[in-house]
Structures are given as C-alpha cells and as structure tokens.
Amino acid sequence: MIAIIDYGAGNIKSLQFALTKAGLESQLTNNQDTIRQSDGIILPGVGAFHDAMTALHALGLTSILQEEAADGKPILGICLGMQLLYDTSYEDGKWDGLRLLHGEAGRINDAVKVPHMGWNTLTYHNRSLLLKGIPENSYVYFVHSYAIKSYNPYELISSTDYGGKVPAIVQKDNLIGMQFHPEKSGGTGLQLLQNFGAML
C-alpha cells in the first residue's frame, strides 16, 4: 500500500485514480501508524511551499517523513512535493524544507511565461529504473511557478527546457521527485507510477 500524505494539498483524486489504474493500492492519510506501515509514500503538492511545510509540522509528519526516508522506504514527491524534499525554497521568503535532498527551489526564469503550464519533453541525464519503458523526449504535463535551481547533478535523472534547464525527475536511492504531474501525463505518467511501484 502507498500512503498518500494528506496535509490539505488540494484535489488528489486524479492521483488516486491513476495509481489504481496502474495497479497500485493507495490510501490518503495523515495517520502516523498508517504511514509507517505503508510500503511507499507519495508526497503530493499544490500551493505554497511555506504553507505546505507549516501543515506538515502541525500534523507531526515532518519527522515521520525524515525517519521513513532514512529507513529506505521509497518516497515520491510530486510537483511542490518534490520541492519539499529539498533544503530550502525562496518562494515568498526563505523557508526550510524537509532537507532530504540537498539543493534549493527558486522562481522560474521570468523570460518565459510563469506559471509554466503545459506539455514538455523529458531529456535524460542519468540512468534509472524509473525510466523503464519510457522513450526519451516523451511528453509530461507541468503546472508550476517554482523549480529546483541547485541540486546534485548525479541525482538528476531527467530535465525539461523552459527558460533554461528545469529538473523534471530526480532520484537519490529511495528518494524521488517529479516536478510534473504523472497522474496527468497519460500513458507516460502511468508507466512512471508503475515503475515507482516496482520499487516497493
């Protein structure tokens, strides 16, 4: 079972539907015991970084996520959820994240339209079983105004080009981030979710 962290991050029905379609059992929860008993964790995200971290702290979920990450449980952060895995965000101030990955989030280059909304292709950088069955230059769906600006290049699995290189998939062992929405990315997104499920 995959625990989808429920901290008021918006409508995640499409994510649950996509996981079911991918053959993966999931449960929306903020119960600490349920999260500990899960096989994997998805941290979704819509909204502001600081509000999300405040909600995670208030629910006592910050330390749980850090403990489960340290224990090697597969964790997938989607969109804002990916940014929350990092040290810092500069969205409307400077805020601490979960510090599971080293790097920071910042606003997308203003030379392009912000927010970034639409389909963009994936360029591959490092090998990962997450990419099994997915050809390079496959399209996925993005909706975001902030992105990871500094990161370990060895953890960059794929990127897209939008006002410069935007990390699209990152991975450090059991920790994975997807800046786009796999649940809104058609067959490619379903394959990515299945590949995550294969890690459990």
Angle between helices 186-197 and 13-21 in degrees, nearest 10: 70
Residue closest to 8 by CA, chosen among 31, 25, 30, 27: 30
Assigned token pair, 27: 């449960």
Q: Please pick, among 116, 125, 144, 181, the residue that the annotation labels catalytic.
A: 181
Between the alpha carbon of residue 83 and those of residues 7, 98, 144, 198, the distances in Å are: 15, 9, 11, 23
Assigned token pair, 173: 């062992």
Write down the pLDDT at residue 150. Answer: 97
**Residue 157 half-sphere exposure toward CB, CA atoms < 13 A:** 19
Q: Residue 179's Cα: distance from chain center in Å?
A: 6
* Full pLDDT tens readout for the chain, 200 residues: 999 999 987 678 899 999 999 999 999 999 999 999 999 999 998 889 999 999 999 999 999 999 999 999 999 999 999 999 999 999 999 999 999 999 999 999 989 999 999 999 999 999 999 999 999 999 999 999 999 999 999 999 999 999 999 999 999 999 999 999 999 999 999 999 999 999 99
Active site residue 116: no
Q: Please pick, among 79, 91, 125, 155, the residue that the annotation labels catalytic.
A: 79
**Residue 27 half-sphere exposure toward CB, CA atoms < 13 A:** 14
Q: Please pick, among 68, 91, 155, 183, the residue that the annotation labels catalytic.
A: 183
| CATH numeric code, 2-197 | 3.40.50.880
Active site residue 50: no
Residue closest to 139 by CA, chosen among 197, 180, 80, 198: 180
The CA angle 197-167-83, to the nearest 5 degrees, is 75
Total residue length of the chain: 200
Extents of the domains making up the chain: 2-197
User: What global pTM score does this model have?
Assistant: 0.97
Q: How far apart are CA 59 and CA 140, in angstroms?
A: 32
Locate all alpha helices (DSSP H) within 22-145, ordered by sequence: 32-37, 49-58, 62-70, 80-84
